[in-house]
Amino acid sequence: MKLGSVALVLAFLVLPCLGGAAGENPLLKPFGTPFEVPPFDRIETGHYLPAVREGIRIHNSEIEAITANPAPADFGNTVEALDTSGKLLETVRAVFYSQTGACSSDELMAAAREISPLLSSHNDDVMLNDRLFARVKAVYDSREKAKLAPDSLYLLENIYGEFVRGGSLLGPEKRARLREINRELSLLSLKFAENVLSETNGSFVVVDDASSLAGLPESVVAMGAETAREMKMEGKWVFTAQRPSWTPVLQYASDRKLREELYKAYVMRCDRDNERDNKQVLQKLVSLRYERAALLGYSDPAGYHLENRMAKEPKAVTSFLDRLWKPALERAGAEARAMQALIDREKGGFRLAPWDWWYYAEKLRKENYDLDESELRPYFSLDSVSAGVFGLGERLFGLKFIERKDIPVYHPEVKVYEVKDAGGETLGLLYTDFFPRDSKRAGAWSGGFRDSWLEDGKRVIPLSTIVCNFTRPAAGDPSLLSVDEVTTFFHEFGHALNTLLFEGRYRRTFAPLDSVELPSQIMENWALKPELLRSYARHYRTGEPMPQALIEKLRKSRLFNQGFQNVEYLAAAYLDIAWHSKGDPKDRNVTKFEENVMKEIGLIPEILPRYRSVHFSHMIGGYTAGYYAYIWAAVLDADAFGAFKERSLFDRKTALSFRKNILASLGTEDTMTLYKKFRGREPKVEPLLEQRGLLGTDR
């Protein structure tokens, strides 16, 4: 990022992703590593494509064995056999796509351009295999007579639905077109992601006048100087489009021009009419989604994608968003007026703009609560927060996290922990990867190299990951996290727990997208609770715990800026649904459409949606017509956390019930059924409204 002009070049010199020497393909034989983890020290980019092809060949032979079975189709010889097929292909796919997100390279992306259409074509081959579908349908049609266990019935119903949604009921011409569409979508999604990564890495502000740094904490200045040194700009300061860099600048920089240029460097990614512009990519991609939905009998992509989620239909989503939007917008409007009043008191002479919001919010936080977020960071070193996160896992579920130095990793900064239960049994491995680099996409996520299931009666050990873009260490200090980064860590830890503690019998799970954020978001509730803060928030220099007075300030300010936080998120959720429910966009002006959607919902000009369409990776990735899922799941998590508050925050009985019915089971039965097993009833929306300070205006 820059002061004066936005430079668009690839930025950082970073430690490389690891790879082994050329030779026999390590992906095509037993790994011979502890817990059969991926041998990253032996895997080269060139190994992936042959391994994918071999995985497809083996999977095809397994499918052929199922369809050639002369015995009548039943659950075991068809559905269970299908569930256990394709293990090699899935292993390679999981490792490969984990790398494209966390530790990419030009060579890896070139491989992805070959691998993605191959996988798309293979998936179509499976979904459009008439003989296979006939056997699945035969089992489905006789499901009542089979008297299957709930998890077996759930698997059968979802696999059957997957075939239908995959085109098994289409005629030859429509099948052929569906294949073409799926192939194009796989490549366009990849292109969109490549452009976002490249633009994020190539957008930065260069500051060459120290006076422009007024107001910035020493740690932020040091971070900017370190980035400049890495980019061969000694004596200057560079701030980037990575959140750990641009957020504190927007919070503290007195120089309004710096704030504006850095903000625009971030929001204009992929909208600069250059070779990385995503407007046409987005139009084509969403247009193809409309065509695919029509082929399969749906009015729009939103209807197609929501069918197997808890919301079921677009109207349910928009009605839900509308209930939250009005009180959130009212609160945000009040926040904007308070900031404008502050600007006027200071004789600023300008109207509040989006790049001013963080700066004046921070001033109001200081004025109203005597709290400056920079006071908190010294108590949130990455090591301290890690202790808090892992400590919560121990207090709730009796887990132990033991670092392993003998596990191959894909980058030197990755750490690996063996996770054991209270009895000493190994539950899985957790890989953590915390800092930004130009080979990693923005944001934070939890994935994995392998899920858990039962094989020959024995549980397969899962391999979970937490990947973030946290503030790097600077000027000899450790990584000091913001409050947002702290809660992000707890959030992703919840996803990881869902992977590590899962106890389902089958490889395939079907958790509705709008429920998968329940395990993650509920963990955020503990992050800043005084009862837990006292155990982990310690000053990185003195080791002293966070003072009670500071904890109290943090508690009192918990609803501060909630209008903004809810509105920028909800605006993005509306935008996502609009793209997938307001008609084919093939002749649409992307910018004008976005503006019109924001006008329809009444978004105030001081706030932009959290993501603009052209870099809205959730919308193009797995959250198609599903970005609302975070707030939908927030209803679940706020209500579920109430079960702990009714007893105690660390009540082991409640925690074990949550583990059994949610973390260990999500995706094996109907989500609402599982939730009612835990809570004894369906969730209520009031706890969420109260939690976010919206209850009064909602009534």
CA distances from 222 to 239, 246, 383 (A): 11, 14, 20
CA geometry: angle at 195 spanning 193 and 201, to 5°?
105
Q: What is the token pair recorded at 92?
A: 């390679």
CA distances from 260 to 239, 492, 663 (A): 13, 31, 43
CB atoms within 10 A of CB 497: 30
Residue labelled with tokens 């409204």: 689
646 catalytic? Reply is no
Q: What is the token pair recorded at 345?
A: 């008191």
H helices then E strands: how many in the chain?
29, 10
Residue pair 219/475 in contact by the 8 Å Cβ criterion = yes
Alpha carbons 443 and 467: distance in angstroms, whole number: 8
Alpha carbons 607 and 361: distance in angstroms, whole number: 13
DSSP β-bridge partners for residue 432: 415, 466
Alpha carbons 427 and 662: distance in angstroms, whole number: 16
Q: Which amino acid is at 23?
A: G
CA-closest candidate to residue 75, choices 123, 127, 145, 169: 145
Alpha carbons 412 and 18: distance in angstroms, whole number: 8
DSSP β-bridge partners for residue 455: 458
- Burial string for 325-338 (b: 16+ CB within 10 Å, else e) reads bebbbbbbbebbee
Residue pair 138/163 in contact by the 8 Å Cβ criterion = no
Q: What are phi and psi of 207, to 5 degrees?
A: -110, 125
Q: What is the token pair recorded at 584?
A: 């084919």
Q: Which amino acid is at 483?
A: V
* Catalytic residue (choose from 194, 261, 492, 524): 492
Alpha carbons 90 and 55: distance in angstroms, whole number: 8
CA-closest candidate to residue 250, choices 267, 229, 227: 267
CA-closest candidate to residue 517, choices 500, 536, 501, 497: 497
CA-closest candidate to residue 253, choices 348, 359, 352, 351: 359
Alpha carbons 57 and 112: distance in angstroms, whole number: 18
Rounded to a whole number of angstroms, the CA Rg of the chain reads 25
Residue pair 205/239 in contact by the 8 Å Cβ criterion = yes
CA-closest candidate to residue 565, choices 515, 524, 596: 524
Alpha carbons 509 and 668: distance in angstroms, whole number: 6
Residues 6+ apart with CB under 8 A from 439: 14, 17, 102, 103, 104, 105
CA-closest candidate to residue 512, choices 638, 656, 632, 688: 632
CB atoms within 10 A of CB 307: 14
CA distances from 280 to 9, 440, 581, 585, 699 (A): 22, 24, 19, 10, 43
Three-state SS at 403: strand
Active site residues: 492
